[in-house]
Amino acid sequence: HPIAILISGRGSNMRALIEACRSPDFPARIALVISNQADALGLDLAREAGLPVLAIPHRPFGRDREAHERAIDAALREAGVETVCLAGYMRVLTPFLVDAWAGKMLNIHPSLLPHFPGMHTHEAALAAGVAEHGCTVHLVTAGVDAGPILAQASVPVHPSDTPEGLAARVLEQEHALYPETLARFLRGELPVADHDSNVEAERN
C-alpha cells in the first residue's frame, strides 16, 4: 500500500514509519516524503534512507494556501500515493486537501485529544495539572486536530516534569503508536466506515 509522509522538521515520527516499513509484513511502503521546509532535517533522513523526497516550499505561493496544496496533491497523485501520513507537518490544511484525502489522511498529535489541540500541548498539559498525557493518531478533517480518533497512548505526568521531559516521554509513545495504528488502519482493523458515512451526511 503506497503511502506518503508529510513533514516540516525533525522527522522522528517519519523515521519510525520508515523503520516499520522495512519489516516485510508491514502493510505500507513509502512512495514519497514531502516537506514544506526545504531545510527540514527529516528530508536528509529520508534521502539517506533512499526514499523519493520532494521539498514543496509554501513561500513561493504567498497567501494562496490552496495553490500550495494543489502542488502537494499533484505530487501525491503522480507518485501513486493512496494514504497520507502527516508527521510534524506544521501547516493547517485548507478544505481542498482535507476533502481530496478524506478518510485517507492520518495525523499524529502530541496530546490525548480532545484535550489540548493546537500547539504547545506539553506546556498546556502541565499548566492544567493533568495526571495523564499522551498522543493521538486521528483522521484529518476540516477542524484542527478534531478528526475521528484512531488510537491513543498515554503516559503519566510527574509533578517535577518539564515540558521537554514530558515531550520526550510522549514522543517515545508516538514512535510506537503511529506505525502500529497505520498498520491496523490499512488492514481494516479500525472502525473508519463511520467516518465516511459522517462525511457523506455532513455533505448532504
> Which residues in this chain contact ligand GRF in the complex, by CB under 6 A?
7, 9-14, 42, 87-88, 108-110, 171, 174
Of 109, 106, 104, which is closest to residue 120 (Cα–Cα)?
A: 109
Q: Which residue among 58, 109, 122, 133 is the active-site one?
A: 109
Annotated binding residues for (6R)-10-formyltetrahydrofolate, written as ranges, equal 65, 107
Q: How far is the CB of 200 from ligand GRF (least distance, A)?
A: 28
Give the CA dihedral 159, 87, 91, 135, nearest 10 degrees.
-30
- Identity of residue 83: T
> In the Cβ-directed half-sphere of 177, how many Cα atoms lie within 13 Å?
26
Taking the least distance from each CB to ligand GRF, the nearer of 58 and 109 is 109
Taking the least distance from each CB to ligand GRF, the nearer of 8 and 83 is 8
Q: How far is the CB of 40 from ligand GRF (least distance, A)?
A: 8
Q: How far is the CB of 21 from ligand GRF (least distance, A)?
A: 15
Grid coordinates representing 190 are: 479500525
Q: Where are the beta strands (DSSP E) in the chain?
A: 2-7, 29-35, 53-55, 83-86, 105-109, 132-139, 149-156
Grid coordinates representing 142 are: 476540516
Annotated binding residues, written as ranges, equal 11-13, 65, 107
Catalytic residue check, 133: no
Taking the least distance from each CB to ligand GRF, the nearer of 148 and 194 is 148
* Residues acting as catalytic residues: 109
